[in-house]
Amino acid sequence: MTRNGVIGAGNWIIDKVKLIDRWPGEGNLCNILSEEMAAGGGPCNVLFDLAAMDPALELYAAGRIGQDAAGDFLLDAISARHIDARYMRRVDSAPTAYTDVMSGNGRRTFFHCRGANAELSREELETIDVPAEYFYLGYLLLLDTLDAPDETFGTRAARLLNNMRARGYRTVVDFVSEAPEKFRAAARAALPYTDLLIINELEAGCCLDCEIRRPDGSLDCRVLAAAPEALLNMGVSDLVVIHFPEGAVAAGRNEEFCYVPSCDIRREEIVGSNGAGDAFAAGVIYGRLRKLPLRETLELGSASSYFNLLSSTASGGAVPLETMRAHLANGTFTPIPEAFL
């Protein structure tokens, strides 16, 4: 079987993005400057970014949503991008998940209702039978049923990843930041069944029980340079990518360590950072789908993240591949740390 395309499974969420002028203290007031409703969640953001990059890609949505207006909104958004929605299950038992996203000054805070996502099970995702190459699952630690313990694999999500790999899919996993102990346990259960790991520097440090940033906020390049190999040694089978505001590093089983700087952006250009990590992941997944060199793959991730920052919603900044490549050819980049020169 010739495989092509991506399955995006897991959290499907309505983001209610509120742009605020400041973060208030308890009992104080801030002003909502604008409000926008948009589709969100890891699989949604990645698939929508990929659909903008290359409309010819075969993309498949999988998850649970409620029998409500928010569920209608998500299905309409999926359909508008010509994404296959046959594995989007509608239920009466819970509402469609939603998040109030408070965004301002390049930062965001989330108030989340898990809704139908909490019920998503391994068994229903294992009914997926399409000729995709990648099976993306996210966000672990926000999928209650899949995050539950499994006596053999550690978590039900890890068992699902194992079973999807056995059926020929290449697995990609995404997490939400949680308490370090919970995050570390979930990650270490999933990594041996993960082909492509794309995480940020804080999550990488949590997996490895180390600090990648110094107390002054600067990168510890020595620790950062060793992190991808350490995560490969924890079971990731193909490639580890760690992204951070200054750039990204990666290493694979058959690919040497690589560092790329971020596309430079002025603070005043940033409208919101909701979905920036997912946009980066979409660029990396696209590069792997197209068998691009590792450096070019990371650069696509950086460009995808750059355009995301120009929008308040998680995928509203998504642009075609040609636009990303033009920006990479003409843009400026964050200075490379001396340790990587």
d(C-alpha 86, C-alpha 66), whole Å: 15
d(C-alpha 245, C-alpha 323), whole Å: 21
Query: 283 in a domain, yes or no?
Result: yes
Query: 256 in a domain, yes or no?
Result: yes
What number is the average pLDDT over the span 53-81? 97
Query: 339 in a domain, yes or no?
Result: no
CATH code, domain with 10: 3.40.1190.20
Query: 202 in a domain, yes or no?
Result: yes
What pLDDT is stored for residue 340 in this prediction? Answer: 67
What pLDDT is stored for residue 36 in this prediction? Answer: 85
At 116-144, the pLDDT tens digits run: 999 999 999 999 999 999 999 999 999 99
Count how many Cα atoms sit within 13 Å of the Cα of residue 87 in the half-sphere of its side chain. 24
Closest residue by Cα to residue 312 from 102, 62, 71 = 102
User: Minimum mean pLDDT among 23-27, 99-103, 174-178, 186-190: which range?
Assistant: 174-178
2 against 94, higher pLDDT: 94
Query: 153 in a domain, yes or no?
Result: yes
In percent, the amount of the chain with pLDDT more than 90 equals 80
Whether residue 336 has pLDDT greater than 90: no
What pLDDT is stored for residue 103 in this prediction? Answer: 84
What pLDDT is stored for residue 339 in this prediction? Answer: 66
At 237-272, the pLDDT tens digits run: 999 999 999 999 999 999 999 999 999 888 888 887
Strand partners, 263: 333
Where b means 16+ CB within 10 Å and e means fewer, 137-150 reads bbbbbbbebbbeeb
The tally of domains found in the chain comes to 1
In 3-state terms, what secondary structure has residue 97?
Answer: strand
Query: 281 in a domain, yes or no?
Result: yes
Structure tokens at 314: 């998680």
d(C-alpha 291, C-alpha 177), whole Å: 30
Whether residue 338 has pLDDT greater than 90: no
What pLDDT is stored for residue 236 in this prediction? Answer: 98
What pLDDT is stored for residue 295 in this prediction? Answer: 96
d(C-alpha 102, C-alpha 108), whole Å: 5
At 312, the amino acid letter reads S
Find the domain containing 126 and state its range.
6-334
Predicted model pTM = 0.92
Query: 1 in a domain, yes or no?
Result: no
At 273-286, the pLDDT tens digits run: 878 999 999 999 99
What pLDDT is stored for residue 284 in this prediction? Answer: 98
At 183-236, the pLDDT tens digits run: 899 999 999 999 999 999 999 999 999 999 999 999 999 999 999 999 999 999
Query: 211 in a domain, yes or no?
Result: yes
Q: Decide if 84 contacts 57 (C-beta within 8 A).
A: no
Q: What is the mean pLDDT of the chain?
A: 93
What pLDDT is stored for residue 260 in this prediction? Answer: 95
What pLDDT is stored for residue 176 in this prediction? Answer: 85
In percent, the amount of the chain with pLDDT more than 70 equals 98
Residues 6+ apart with CB under 8 A from 173: 136, 137, 138, 140, 157, 161, 190, 191, 194, 197
